[in-house]
């Protein structure tokens, strides 16, 4: 049963000074608000309760997608998911992230939901986490003491649990993948959900392969990230190692898919059984690898 | 710093300004319906899944059940009531829904029409895939999707014809 949200204060700081002053002076239980598409649903269902919300949307420009001089990419945490979906830069150079953005919720949701919100909500099935894990993304965190950068993978402690502790995620940093050569690589996101649109991932798989050559004869580096099949989004490291430095073959890909399925720790819930999830990890990893390199 | 539970906001809705006292936790949908009497936007699932409450913020469709009224300040808000004058003709999207019988109980229609309006504003001649994507955030429990697709396909074809005519006109003029 849904209930009316009841919080007594709403604060929209114009800069970080105002934000930290507010945090010092306010004694109640407070949460940061970005798009609200997850937070409000959780508050209405009674899962979370707060006395006040701090709306981050007026803080200095945290909505951008910028190529970096070093060949990497920086994305402001308040960039909405629709902007990611429509970005031609992402479509060209980071297709897995672009696909994941286009599969998150509906257009209405994507117009409000932000990349930072999707990460900080820390759902194991969050669509944007798995492609960013495959890209070895870092995140910039802001506290009163200043900024620090940590690997995205270290953000998550469990379903809905993060290490943030009052800090704000301000930026997502994607390191340069390789010498800026976007020809020799494959990057895609695969989502398994009962409904084609407007559904949570039962399994989400990101496959990133960097080849040593244009003919895709040898795999230089591989990243396989899995969503919704463990308490936190994870990488299938054993499978990645198996692929590295190898020539693509059906047999190799089948073993990597098997390794990925063995590494995940899915649960059974109303959406799918653990067995089904594990089976789909095997199928989807294999599908992705074969798409990267038909053999 | 104790602030009152209420705040005064200035909302721009359908081209008009409204100065209102709202509760800080009040949702845009409730303000539109209960304070401004704009009951065209419907309350359905209240969790952003059914799309019945869809309105446009600066032309972009959002679920008004997931937007705080306070957070809608500064946007141009458009509801179904803002698409055509009270006593005047319907706008082309509304008219197409009527003509094609794309309505059964009508509960999803205002939201659907808002999303289709936004679609046609950014894509003058959408194909079937574009249309399906645009309305994927809407549930119609009567199952009138087929007729809705027909209505939007028609609008898309009309646009294509208009574009064609304009191109021909321009070419003529250039000659």
According to the 3-state scheme, what is the secondary structure of A110-154?
Answer: HHHCEHHHHHHCCCCCCCCHHHHHHCCCEEEEEECCEEEEEEHHH
pLDDT in the model for residue A180:
61
Q: Which of B3, B67, B134 sits opposite A112 (nearest CB)?
A: B67
Assess contact for B44 and B105: CB atoms under 8 A. Answer: no
- Between CA A181 and CA A178 the distance in angstroms is 7
pLDDT in the model for residue B172:
77
Question: Terminus-to-terminus CA distance in chain B, angstroms?
Answer: 70
- Chain A CB contacts of B58 under 8 Å are none
Which chain A residue is nearest to residue B56, measuring alpha carbons? A108
Answer whether 0.80 is exceeded by the pTM: yes
Angle A41-A134-B137 from CA coordinates, rounded to 5°: 30
Average pLDDT, chain A: 94
Q: Which of B67, B70, B137 sits opposite A106 (nearest CB)?
A: B137
3-class secondary structure, A256: helix
User: Å from A56 to nearest chain B CA?
Assistant: 11
Say yes or no for a CB contact (<8 Å) between A107 and B137: yes
Q: Which of A9, A105, A108 sits opposite B54 (nearest CB)?
A: A108
- Between CA B70 and CA B22 the distance in angstroms is 8
pLDDT in the model for residue B1:
44
Per-residue pLDDT of chain B (175 residues; tens, 9 = 90+): 455 578 999 999 999 999 999 999 999 999 999 999 999 999 999 999 999 999 999 999 999 999 999 999 999 999 999 999 989 899 999 999 999 999 999 999 999 999 999 999 999 899 999 999 999 999 999 999 999 999 999 999 987 777 777 777 777 777 6
pLDDT in the model for residue A179:
66
Residue A214's pLDDT band (cuts 50, 70, 90): confident
Name the A residues in 76-115 with CB < 8 Å from any B CB: 82, 105-109, 111-112
pLDDT in tens, A174-184: 999 876 677 78
Which chain B residue is nearest to residue A5, measuring alpha carbons? B25
Cα separations (Å) of B63 from A35, B41, B45, B73, B78? 11, 10, 11, 15, 12
Residue A103's pLDDT band (cuts 50, 70, 90): very high
Q: What are the two backbone dihedrals, phi and then psi, of residue A8, each rounded to the nearest 5 degrees? A: -100, -5
Residue A59 has pLDDT above 80, yes or no: yes
Tell me which of A13-17, A59-63, A70-74 is least confident: A59-63
Q: Which of A2, A106, A196 sits opposite B51 (nearest CB)?
A: A106
Strand-pair partners of A235 = A225
Taking residues A33-48, report their average pLDDT: 96
Mutation target to probe the B interface, by most B beta carbons within 10 A, among A23, A108, A118, A196 is A108
pLDDT in the model for residue A143:
95
Residue A24's pLDDT band (cuts 50, 70, 90): very high
């Amino acid at each position: 049963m849904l209930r009316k949200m009841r919080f007594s204060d709403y604060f929209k700081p114009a800069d970080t000074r105002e934000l930290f002053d507010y945090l010092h002076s306010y004694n109640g239980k407070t949460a940061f608000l970005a798009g609200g598409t997850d937070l409000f649903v959780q508050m209405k269902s009674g899962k979370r309760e707060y006395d006040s919300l701090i709306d981050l949307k007026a803080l200095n420009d945290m909505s951008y997608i910028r190529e970096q001089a070093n060949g990497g990419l920086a994305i402001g945490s308040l960039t909405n998911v629709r902007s990611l979906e429509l970005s031609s830069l992402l479509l060209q150079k980071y297709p897995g992230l672009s696909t994941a953005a286009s599969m998150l919720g509906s257009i209405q949701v994507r117009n409000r939901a932000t990349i930072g919100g999707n990460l900080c909500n820390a759902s194991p099935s969050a669509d944007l986490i798995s492609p960013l894990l495959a890209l070895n993304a870092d995140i910039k965190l802001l506290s009163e003491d200043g900024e620090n950068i940590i690997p995205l993978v270290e953000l998550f402690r469990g379903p809905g649990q993060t290490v943030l502790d009052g800090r704000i995620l301000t930026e997502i940093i994607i390191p340069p993948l390789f010498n800026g050569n976007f020809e020799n690589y494959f990057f895609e996101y695969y989502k398994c959900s009962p409904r084609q649109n407007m559904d949570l991932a039962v399994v989400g798989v990101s496959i990133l392969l960097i080849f040593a050559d244009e003919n895709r004869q040898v795999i230089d580096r591989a990243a396989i990230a899995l969503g919704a099949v463990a308490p936190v989004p994870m990488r299938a490291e054993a499978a990645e190692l198996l692929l590295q430095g190898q020539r693509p073959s059906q047999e190799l890909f089948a073993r990597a898919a098997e390794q990925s399925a063995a590494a995940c720790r899915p649960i059974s819930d109303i959406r799918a059984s653990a067995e089904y999830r594990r089976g789909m990890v095997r199928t989807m990893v294999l599908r992705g690898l074969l798409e990267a390199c038909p053999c | 710093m104790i602030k009152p539970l209420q705040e005064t906001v200035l909302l721009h809705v359908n081209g008009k300004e409204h100065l209102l006292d709202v509760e800080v936790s009040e949702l845009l949908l409730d303000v539109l319906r209960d304070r401004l009497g704009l009951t065209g936007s419907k309350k359905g699932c209240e969790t952003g899944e059914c799309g019945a409450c869809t309105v446009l913020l600066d032309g972009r469709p959002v679920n008004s059940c997931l937007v705080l009224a306070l957070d809608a300040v500064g946007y141009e808000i458009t509801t179904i009531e803002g698409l055509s004058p009270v006593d005047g003709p319907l706008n082309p999207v509304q008219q197409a829904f009527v003509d094609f019988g794309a309505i059964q109980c009508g509960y999803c229609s205002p939201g659907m029409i808002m999303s289709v309006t936004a679609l046609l504003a950014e894509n003058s001649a959408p194909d079937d895939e574009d249309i399906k994507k645009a309305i994927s955030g809407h549930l119609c429990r009567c199952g009138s999707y087929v007729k809705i697709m027909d209505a939007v396909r028609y609008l898309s074809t009309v646009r294509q014809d208009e574009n064609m005519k304009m191109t021909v006109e321009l070419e003529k003029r250039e000659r």
